[in-house]
C-alpha cells in the first residue's frame, strides 16, 4: 500500500537517502533543499513523499514543486515548477508514480494558476496519464566555436584537423568581428559577478514583448545563478557605458570543453544577437569548442538559428496542466511558439 505525505516530519532523513547518491560531490541534501525550496525569492516550495507500508514509515519516492512567477500576455501568474521526481528502483511501477503525481497535481490545481515540468521519456507517460498536456520539446541548440576537434574525431589526423578547423572557423570569426564593428561605441560586453538594479530595469523594459516568459528580476537571478550552491556561472551583459544600462545578458557554465548557456534575455533580438556573438568569441578565446543552450518553442529557437546555432538533440518535453481558475490562459500556454524559456527555467 502506498501513501503520499506533504509533512516535513522525517524529510531530512528521507531526502538524504533518496538524493544522497545522485547529488554532486560536496552538495548535501539539506543544503539543496534549503536553497531550492526555502530561499526562492518567490516563496517556499513543497516536497511530497511517497511512502510504502501501512504505517507510512518506509519512504520510497519524492516529488517537489518550486514557486515561479510567469507572465502570460503581461499578466503575472503564480506557477508551480515540477521538480525532483524520484522513486526507488524496486518501486518504479505505474501505480506508485501515479499516486505521487496525482497528489502533486491536486495540490497545484488548488494553489497555482498552472503547473509545468520537463519530464524525460520514461516519466512522460505518467504525466500524460494524469492529464498533463505536451507543449514542446526541450531542444539543445549548439554553435561550434572550434571545428578542429570535431574534424579530428572523424579523420584521426591532428594536422589535417587543425587545417580544416581553421577554415571551418572562419564564418564564426567573421560573424563575431562584424558584430563588434556594428556595435555602437557606447555598447560593450562586460562580465559581472552579481545582478544589480540594471537587471530589474531591463526586465521591466523587455518583459511585455513575450507572450509567456518567466520572471527574471535581479532577486531571482541572484538566487538562481549567482547563489547556486554547486555550480559556477559566468554572466555577460551588453552594457551601455554612457547610459549606465544593460540591454541583454547571458548566463554561462563551463563544463570541460563546452560552454552551456543557462539563460539569455534581452531588450530586442538585435541586442541578444550582439551579445551572443560577443559571448561566442569570448568562449572561443577561453578554449571552448562549442556554445549550447536548451529552449522550447520557436521564439528563442529562431533567434539562436539566426545567430549561427543549429538544433541538436531533444531529450525532454515541456508539459503543463492549467487550473480551472486560469482557463483563459490555457490556449496561450499550450502553444510552444509563445514561450521564451531557456535551460535555467528547468529544475536543476
Rounded Cα–Cα distance for residues 39 and 316 (Å):
27
C-alpha separations of 75 from 82, 110, 130, 211, 328 in Å: 21, 19, 27, 9, 12
Q: Which CATH number fits domain 2-131: 3.40.630.30, 3.40.190.80, 1.10.3720.10, 3.40.50.300?
A: 3.40.630.30
CATH code 3.40.630.30 for 140-318? yes
Domain 2-131 identical in fold to domain 140-318: yes
Residue written as cell 552594457? Answer: 239
**DSSP helix/strand/coil, 56:** coil
Distance CA 80, CA 23 (A): 23
* Domain segments of the chain as ranges: 2-131, 140-318
CB 318 within 8 A of CB 152: no
**Where are the alpha helices (H) located in 197-293, listed in sequence order?**
197-206, 218-221, 269-285
pTM for the full model? 0.89
Task: Burial-class residue 69 by CB neighbours within 10 Å (0-12, 13-18, 19+).
Answer: middle
Residue 101 CA to residue 348 CA, distance in Å, equals 19
Contact predicate 223/257, CB 8 Å: no
Residue-level pLDDT, tens digit, the chain, 348 residues:
788 888 777 788 888 888 877 676 667 888 889 999 999 999 999 999 988 876 556 888 889 999 999 999 999 999 999 998 888 877 777 788 888 999 999 999 999 999 999 998 888 988 999 999 999 999 999 999 875 565 566 666 676 655 555 556 666 666 666 666 566 778 899 999 999 999 999 999 999 999 999 999 999 999 999 999 888 999 999 999 999 999 999 999 999 889 999 999 999 999 999 999 999 989 988 989 899 999 998 889 999 999 999 999 888 899 999 999 999 999 999 999 999 999 888 776
Amino acid at each position: 500500500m502506498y501513501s503520499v505525505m506533504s509533512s516535513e516530519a522525517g524529510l531530512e532523513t528521507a531526502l538524504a537517502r533518496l538524493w544522497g547518491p545522485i547529488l554532486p560531490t560536496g552538495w548535501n541534501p539539506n543544503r539543496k533543499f534549503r536553497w531550492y525550496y526555502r530561499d526562492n525569492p518567490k516563496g517556499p516550495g513543497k516536497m511530497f513523499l511517497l511512502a510504502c507500508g501501512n504505517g507510512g514509515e518506509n519512504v520510497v519516492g519524492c516529488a517537489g514543486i518550486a514557486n515561479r512567477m510567469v507572465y502570460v500576455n503581461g499578466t503575472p501568474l503564480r506557477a508551480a515548477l515540477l521538480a525532483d521526481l524520484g522513486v526507488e528502483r524496486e518501486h518504479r511501477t505505474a501505480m506508485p508514480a501515479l499516486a505521487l503525481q496525482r497528489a502533486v497535481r491536486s495540490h497545484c490545481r488548488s494553489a497555482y494558476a498552472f503547473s509545468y515540468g520537463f519530464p524525460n521519456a520514461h516519466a512522460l507517460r505518467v504525466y500524460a496519464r494524469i492529464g498533463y498536456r505536451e507543449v514542446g520539446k526541450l531542444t539543445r541548440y549548439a554553435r561550434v566555436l572550434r571545428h578542429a576537434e570535431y574534424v579530428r574525431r572523424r579523420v584521426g589526423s591532428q594536422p589535417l584537423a587543425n587545417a580544416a578547423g581553421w577554415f571551418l572557423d572562419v564564418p564564426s570569426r567573421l560573424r563575431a568581428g562584424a558584430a563588434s564593428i556594428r556595435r555602437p561605441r557606447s555598447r560593450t560586453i562586460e562580465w559581472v559577478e552579481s545582478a544589480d538594479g540594471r537587471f530589474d530595469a531591463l526586465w521591466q523594459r523587455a518583459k511585455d514583448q513575450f507572450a509567456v516568459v518567466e520572471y527574471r528580476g535581479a532577486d531571482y537571478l541572484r538566487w538562481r545563478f549567482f547563489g547556486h550552491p554547486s555550480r559556477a556561472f559566468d554572466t555577460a551583459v551588453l552594457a551601455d557605458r554612457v547610459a549606465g544600462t544593460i540591454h541583454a545578458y547571458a548566463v554561462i557554465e563551463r563544463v570541460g570543453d563546452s560552454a552551456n548557456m543557462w539563460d539569455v534575455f534581452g531588450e530586442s533580438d538585435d541586442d541578444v544577437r550582439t551579445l551572443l556573438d560577443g559571448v561566442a568569441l569570448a568562449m572561443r578565446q577561453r578554449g571552448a569548442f562549442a556554445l549550447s543552450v536548451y529552449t522550447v518553442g520557436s521564439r528563442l529557437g529562431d533567434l539562436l538559428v539566426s545567430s549561427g546555432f543549429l538544433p541538436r538533440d531533444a531529450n525532454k518535453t515541456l508539459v503543463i496542466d492549467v487550473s480551472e481558475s486560469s482557463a483563459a490562459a490555457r490556449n496561450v500556454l499550450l502553444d510552444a511558439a509563445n514561450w521564451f524559456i531557456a535551460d535555467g527555467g528547468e529544475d536543476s
